[in-house]
Copies of this chain bind each other. A is one copy, B any other.
Amino acid sequence: MTGTKFDRTQFEQPSLTVDIVVFAMREGALHLLVIERGIPPFEGCWALPGGFVLPRESVDQAAARELEEETNLRDVYLEQLYTFSEPERDPRGRVVSVAHMALLPADRVDQVQGGSDARAAKFERLPASIERIEPADGRSTVGKSKRKREESEGYFAFDHDVIVATALARLRGKLEFTTLAFELLPEEFTLTEAQHVYEAILGRELDKVTFRRRLLAMELVRETPRMRRGAHRPARLYRAAPRASVWL
């Protein structure tokens, strides 16, 4: 903004909120954290955790705070996604929401408890219908015809289906060039477990040999002396390589 004319009271300002898409692996499938709405509008639909941005915090801080207040989760991977701002996206008034994405390691899904605000936070399997929703990543929405939100169109309240689709698209896009997937795994994991995470996110099967070769060749994982013992042959445990925390 150039600020050649700066008058903050010049316009009625929209409300600013954050919404958070929390992904986690459960039973081998990708799940997300939703809160079932108890009141209209969209009563009974799934909504994302979130809330208002306070006057002295950044939107990213607001996302972290709301996540902790509503789900008891701290110190999880959290990244800003996209800002949703269609004037009609919330029938109650003008609300602009900065969507975030959080990734919860599989061994921490039990830490989630309904907090001060969110009554029934629960993990639900990502519905297949999400694939048919066009994500708002990048250019998509700029100049797109806005769709007015009617009630009872599907699982999700408001435009939260688009937010989830956008989060999934972002996760997929970053998967091959970052080490984001490890954020969904426990500290130590087998390569087969890692492969299952990739497959769940991408929605297709991967070749075992190629997958292992790449992870090892790029030194994204480090061998540990430990093994995971189960019903059959024990599997080597690995951990994410230190520098590999996010970017490739």
User: Is the beta-carbon distance between B4 and A118 smaller than 8 angstroms?
Assistant: yes
Q: Is A225 an interface residue (CB 8 A)?
A: no
User: Residue on B with the closest CB to A6?
Assistant: B92
A207 to B154, alpha carbons, bound, how many Å? Answer: 50
User: Is the beta-carbon distance between A246 and B10 smaller than 8 angstroms?
Assistant: no
Q: Is A204 an interface residue (CB 8 A)?
A: no
Q: Chain copies in the assembly? A: 2
What B residues does A113 contact at CB under 8 A? none
User: Is the beta-carbon distance between B119 and A4 smaller than 8 angstroms?
Assistant: yes
| Given A2-B118, A4-B38; A13-B15 close (CB under 8 Å) | yes
In the assembled complex, how far is the CB of residue A62 from the closest CB belonging to chain B, in whole angstroms? Answer: 8
What B residues does A80 contact at CB under 8 A? 82-83, 138, 141-142
What B residues does A94 contact at CB under 8 A? 55
Q: Is A150 an interface residue (CB 8 A)?
A: no
User: Residue on B with the closest CB to A77?
Assistant: B139
Main secondary structure of the interface of A (DSSP, over half): loop
From the candidates B19, B53, B90, name the one contacting A85 in the complex (CB within 8 A).
Answer: B53
Q: Is A221 an interface residue (CB 8 A)?
A: no
Q: Is A122 an interface residue (CB 8 A)?
A: no
Q: Is A47 an interface residue (CB 8 A)?
A: yes
From the candidates B56, B77, B90, B141, name the one contacting A87 in the complex (CB within 8 A).
Answer: B56
What B residues does A146 contact at CB under 8 A? 58
From the candidates B50, B78, B138, name the one contacting A139 in the complex (CB within 8 A).
Answer: B78
CB within 8 Å of B: which A105-126 residues: 117-119
User: Is the beta-carbon distance between B85 and A98 smaller than 8 angstroms?
Assistant: yes
User: Is the beta-carbon distance between B55 and A83 smaller than 8 angstroms?
Assistant: no
User: Residue on B with the closest CB to A4?
Assistant: B117
Q: Is A219 an interface residue (CB 8 A)?
A: no
A residues within 8 Å of B by Cβ?
1-6, 8, 10-19, 35, 37-39, 47-60, 63-64, 70, 77-80, 82-83, 85-87, 90, 92-98, 100, 117-119, 138-139, 141-143, 146, 158, 173-174, 177, 246
28 A/B residue pairs, CB under 8 Å, sorted by A: A1-B19, A1-B52, A1-B97, A2-B49, A3-B39, A4-B117, A6-B92, A8-B92, A8-B93, A11-B55, A12-B55, A13-B13, A13-B15, A13-B16, A14-B53, A16-B96, A53-B85, A55-B94, A58-B85, A58-B87, A60-B143, A63-B142, A64-B143, A77-B139, A78-B143, A138-B174, A138-B246, A139-B246
